[in-house]
Amino acid sequence: MSFLFRQQRTFKPRRHIAEGTKQHDLMKHAAATLGSGNLRLAVTLPEGEDLNEWIAVNIVDFFNQINMLYGTITEFCTEESCALMTAGPKYEYHWADGATIKKPIKCSAPRYVDFLMTWVQEHLDDETVFPSKIGIPFQKNFLSLSKVILKRLFRVYAHIYHQHFKEVVMLKEEAHLNTSFKHFVYFIQEFNLIEKKELAPLQELIDRLTTKDR
Say what the pLDDT of residue 5 is. Answer: 36
pTM of the model: 0.85
Q: What is the C-alpha separation between 17 and 23, in angstroms, rounded?
A: 7
- pLDDT below 70 — which residues of the chain? 1-37, 212-214
The CA-CA-CA angle for residues 58, 92, 163, to 5°, reads 75
Say what the pLDDT of residue 2 is. Answer: 36
Q: Which residues are annotated as a binding site?
A: 77, 82, 159, 164
Which tens digit of pLDDT belongs to each residue from 143-193?
999 999 999 999 999 999 999 999 999 999 999 999 999 999 999 999 999
Say what the pLDDT of residue 28 is. Answer: 62
Q: What is the C-alpha separation between 192 and 164, in angstroms, rounded?
A: 28
CATH topology of domain 19-211: Butyryl-CoA Dehydrogenase, subunit A; domain 3 (1.20.140)
| Total length of the chain | 214
Say what the pLDDT of residue 49 is. Answer: 86
Q: Which residues are annotated as a binding site for Zn(2+)?
A: 77, 82, 159, 164
